[in-house]
A and B are shown apart, each in its own frame.
Chain A
Amino acid sequence: MSRGLFEQMKRSIIEGDPVRARELSERSLVEGISPLDSINQGFVPGLNAVGEQFEQGEMFLPDLVLAGEAMKAAGAILEPEIQKAGMARESLGRVVLGTVKGDIHEIGKTLVGTMLAASGFEVLDLGVDVPCERFAEKAKEWKADIVGVSALLTTTMTGQKGVVEALERYGLRPRVKVIVGGAPVTQSWANEIGADGYGKDALATVALAKSLLGK
């Protein structure tokens, strides 16, 4: 019975269908299926399948984004139930995310946030044009494990260094890890500014975040 439903849940993610994902989540609750099982055995395998196919070049960014949206729709129904039942979906960690000051590029950063959240991280997206200090403030306040900093312009890349420095001033380093990303960013830039890693795309960033936290 639940096996068939789990299969449909997986399909709803692969097909990027938030409406269907929500319906299936609601149905699972009516049928008394554990919300944690729905997430772990239904929706997450769908997300993994999308990730694999993206890596192989068979799926594309819109597939990834819509899969993330479908995941979010399922989470909106199931997460409160998980909490009510006193269960907890294992959080992989807390990530504060944003695009640096002076830069208003949103697409890449938001995609990273969607994929991190869909993969089981808790994500606080600060948006774009975020001052260095604010990354540090929020990381402290929210007890973040990772700070992700996006920059799409060579003129704003230096802000990523500023974030690393601000975190140091707040005494959060090296406990809080820093991941940098964006079109002009490279591994050598990440090394140069003392960041812990460079995420070349959304999926690579998820893998990086997991490995930095030993997950």
Chain B
Amino acid sequence: MQPSLAILEPQLIDRILGEAFTLIWERGVRVEARAAKELLSSSGARVENERVHIPEALARRCIESVPRTFSLYNRVGEPAVNYGENHVQFDPGSSCVQILDAESLEHRMTQAGDLVRIVQVAEMLPQYAAQSTAVVCNEVPKDMGDMYRLFVVLQYSNKPIVTGAFLPHSALAMIEMLEADSGGRAELKAKPRAIFDVCPSPPLHWSEFAAENLVDLARAWVPAEIISVPLAGAASPVTLAGTIVQHAAECISGIAIHQLAQPGAPVVWGGAPAIFDMRSGITPMGAIETCMLNVACAQVAKSLRLPTHGYLLGSDAKIVDAQAGQESGMAAVIGALGGINMISGAGMLDSLACHSPEKLVLDAESIAMAQRLINGIGSQTETLALDMFAKAGEQGDFLKLPETRKLFRQEQYIPTKVIDRSSLHSWEQAGKKDAFARAKERVKELVAAYKRPELATEVDQRLRSIVGEHAEREGAVALPQL
């Protein structure tokens, strides 16, 4: 049995969905892209100015055509991320703009080298099933930022990638790059390597660019992940239940646009729902209510048998300190128990503004423990204890038993040296290091052990030429040397 956490009563889920369907029909959703509006209106939605009123029956039909499960594939074509059911996987947070300098503790603007380092660390940690286009490369022209980040990750990783297009037209260039990486359009469709985050603007608004993205991704059969970001009390109702209604309405309206563009194309019910901090005005990613919202939104999706995504493990702390550990550890456990298929956000500090490779290795320990938790407690042996008691003798010397040697690695997650379980004496002898100091060492070890994947020459050339064309358009800018 996979231990799980349910925080909504079935009747409450029904009421949430009921109000979400009422919202998209009675209040309507602002959709700015003409193609998306036409898809909706020609299928029975009522369009008044920029608001599209979507009937429940149409929305339900679109929900029905969403694939219940699908996979993302690694470079060699093996399924490495599974969406749907109760699969739980993690990837680093994405699109961050600053990085914590582990020596000076300053937050500084990120560059391509920082993205490379984060990708290298995440590549080495099995807890991250996928990479993300984690940080912005600030030295690269803004208009080619999205595609350049994907280019870097494709160069340095074999894992699936959670990415996104946040600038007009970048999705198409990025799809072209993925096609090159997969060996063609049909190959990419059959074995998608990446999924694209697409963000509605709260409340209930699909900007021209986001709605177009949904349509483009659906038609290319490249998986899309709807990232609804209601902020309870500011950009959505203050009650958690009210915020979950808005999240559902935004996801359902996005699914409608997406599925009308291409029925059966893969799409995920996802988001970064959070509360709004009433003192500072930030969105606290480390808040317990943010964890609750993520699990509850996934629970609503699960009632519809849809694949799920959430945004957790980001901390509001500014350095990798006790607060960062507390918030991210708690979130890893709650998200895993929620059975959320993909949980983004590891490595992040300062309410998603800052990344840290050191935090990424610390979070990997929380993730490993959370995964151990949801693996649950099974019965590995014929009798649970009786046979081992018979063998252990009067003294109960269980350490000697072959079962112990055989089974301890399955029964226990063995942490890396980032987690200190040594004696006081050994800890003192090793320099009295705290978790951050140990994480710094581990990052250095991982980066030293990392090996860059070898891209096929034609793939590499194609990727470089796509990026090169865009650099040319930006005025022949010099790109960073990787």
Q: Give A contacts to B, CB under 8 Å.
A: 57, 60-62, 104, 107-108, 111, 154-155, 158, 183-184, 201
Residues of A within 8 A of B235 (CB): 107
* B278 in the interface (beta carbon within 8 A): yes
* B25 in the interface (beta carbon within 8 A): no
Across the interface, do B279 and A57 meet the contact criterion of CB distance under 8 Å? Answer: yes
* B201 in the interface (beta carbon within 8 A): yes
Across the interface, do A184 and B353 meet the contact criterion of CB distance under 8 Å? Answer: yes
* B80 in the interface (beta carbon within 8 A): no
- In chain B, residues 191-239, which have Cβ atoms closer than 8 Å to a Cβ of chain A? 201, 207, 233-235
Given A154-B136, A155-B142, A184-B97 contact (CB < 8 Å): yes
* Beyond known contacts A108-B281, A201-B280: 8 more, CB 8 A cutoff: A57-B279, A60-B279, A61-B276, A61-B281, A107-B234, A154-B136, A183-B282, A184-B353
Q: State how many angstroms separate the Cβ of B48 from the closest Cβ of chain A.
A: 21
Residues of B within 8 A of A107 (CB): 234-235, 281
Across the interface, do B97 and A154 meet the contact criterion of CB distance under 8 Å? Answer: yes
* B145 in the interface (beta carbon within 8 A): yes
* B166 in the interface (beta carbon within 8 A): yes
Residues of A within 8 A of B276 (CB): 61
A155 interface neighbour in B145, B201, B280, B281, Cβ under 8 Å: B145
The chain B residue with its CB closest to the CB of A104 is B201
Across the interface, do B207 and A104 meet the contact criterion of CB distance under 8 Å? Answer: yes
Q: State how many angstroms separate the Cβ of B161 from the closest Cβ of chain A.
A: 20
Across the interface, do B201 and A62 meet the contact criterion of CB distance under 8 Å? Answer: no
Q: CA A184 – CA B354 in complex, angstroms?
A: 10
The 3 lowest CB-CB distance pairs between A and B, nearest first, are A60-B278, A154-B97, A61-B278
Q: State how many angstroms separate the Cβ of A187 from the closest Cβ of chain B.
A: 14
Q: CA A62 – CA B234 in complex, angstroms?
A: 9
The chain B residue with its CB closest to the CB of A186 is B107
A62 interface neighbour in B136, B138, B142, B278, Cβ under 8 Å: B278
Across the interface, do A61 and B279 meet the contact criterion of CB distance under 8 Å? Answer: yes
- In chain B, residues 280-304, which have Cβ atoms closer than 8 Å to a Cβ of chain A? 280-282
Q: CA A212 – CA B192 in complex, angstroms?
A: 55
Across the interface, do B233 and A62 meet the contact criterion of CB distance under 8 Å? Answer: yes
Residues of B within 8 A of A158 (CB): 142
Task: Tally the A-B contacts, defined by beta carbons under 8 Å.
Answer: 32
Across the interface, do B279 and A183 meet the contact criterion of CB distance under 8 Å? Answer: no
The chain B residue with its CB closest to the CB of A107 is B234
The chain B residue with its CB closest to the CB of A106 is B235
Q: State how many angstroms separate the Cβ of B80 from the closest Cβ of chain A.
A: 30
The chain A residue with its CB closest to the CB of B282 is A183
Listed A/B pairs (23) with beta-carbon separation below 8 Å: A57-B279, A61-B234, A61-B276, A61-B279, A62-B233, A104-B201, A104-B207, A107-B234, A107-B235, A108-B281, A111-B281, A154-B97, A154-B136, A155-B136, A155-B142, A155-B145, A155-B166, A155-B167, A158-B142, A183-B282, A184-B97, A184-B353, A201-B280
Q: State how many angstroms separate the Cβ of B458 from the closest Cβ of chain A.
A: 33
Q: Give B contacts to A, CB under 8 Å.
A: 97, 136, 138, 142, 145, 166-167, 201, 207, 233-235, 276, 278-282, 353
Q: CA A155 – CA B170 in complex, angstroms?
A: 15
Q: CA A107 – CA B230 in complex, angstroms?
A: 13
Residues of B within 8 A of A61 (CB): 234, 276, 278-279, 281
Q: CA A111 – CA B233 in complex, angstroms?
A: 14
Residues of B within 8 A of A111 (CB): 281
Residues of B within 8 A of A154 (CB): 97, 136, 138
The chain A residue with its CB closest to the CB of B110 is A154
The chain A residue with its CB closest to the CB of B280 is A201
Q: CA A135 – CA B162 in complex, angstroms?
A: 37
Residues of A within 8 A of B278 (CB): 60-62
Residues of A within 8 A of B167 (CB): 155
Residues of A within 8 A of B280 (CB): 201
Residues of A within 8 A of B353 (CB): 183-184
Q: State how many angstroms separate the Cβ of B203 from the closest Cβ of chain A.
A: 11
The chain A residue with its CB closest to the CB of B138 is A154
Q: CA A108 – CA B234 in complex, angstroms?
A: 10
Q: State how many angstroms separate the Cβ of B10 from the closest Cβ of chain A.
A: 32
Q: State how many angstroms separate the Cβ of A46 from the closest Cβ of chain B.
A: 20
Residues of A within 8 A of B234 (CB): 61, 107
The chain B residue with its CB closest to the CB of A157 is B97
Q: CA A158 – CA B142 in complex, angstroms?
A: 10
Q: CA A183 – CA B145 in complex, angstroms?
A: 20
Q: CA A108 – CA B280 in complex, angstroms?
A: 11
Q: CA A57 – CA B167 in complex, angstroms?
A: 38
Q: CA A12 – CA B136 in complex, angstroms?
A: 47
Q: CA A129 – CA B353 in complex, angstroms?
A: 22
Q: CA A154 – CA B166 in complex, angstroms?
A: 12
For B97, B145, B166, the residue with the greatest tally of chain A CB atoms inside 10 Å of its CB is B97
Q: State how many angstroms separate the Cβ of A176 from the closest Cβ of chain B.
A: 26
Q: State how many angstroms separate the Cβ of A56 from the closest Cβ of chain B.
A: 11
Residues of A within 8 A of B281 (CB): 61, 107-108, 111, 201
The chain A residue with its CB closest to the CB of B143 is A155
Q: CA A23 – CA B220 in complex, angstroms?
A: 60
Q: CA A111 – CA B234 in complex, angstroms?
A: 11
Q: State how many angstroms separate the Cβ of B182 from the closest Cβ of chain A.
A: 28
Residues of B within 8 A of A108 (CB): 281
Residues of B within 8 A of A184 (CB): 97, 353
The chain A residue with its CB closest to the CB of B279 is A60
Q: CA A57 – CA B280 in complex, angstroms?
A: 10
Residues of B within 8 A of A201 (CB): 280-281
Residues of A within 8 A of B282 (CB): 183
Q: State how many angstroms separate the Cβ of B126 from the closest Cβ of chain A.
A: 31
Q: CA A99 – CA B233 in complex, angstroms?
A: 21
Q: CA A61 – CA B277 in complex, angstroms?
A: 8
Q: CA A82 – CA B235 in complex, angstroms?
A: 36
Q: CA A155 – CA B95 in complex, angstroms?
A: 11
Q: State how many angstroms separate the Cβ of A68 from the closest Cβ of chain B.
A: 14
Q: State how many angstroms separate the Cβ of B439 from the closest Cβ of chain A.
A: 26
For A158, A183, A184, the residue with the greatest tally of chain B CB atoms inside 10 Å of its CB is A183
The chain B residue with its CB closest to the CB of A156 is B142
Q: State how many angstroms separate the Cβ of B251 from the closest Cβ of chain A.
A: 19
For A61, A108, A201, the residue with the greatest tally of chain B CB atoms inside 10 Å of its CB is A61
The chain A residue with its CB closest to the CB of B352 is A183
Q: State how many angstroms separate the Cβ of B348 from the closest Cβ of chain A.
A: 14
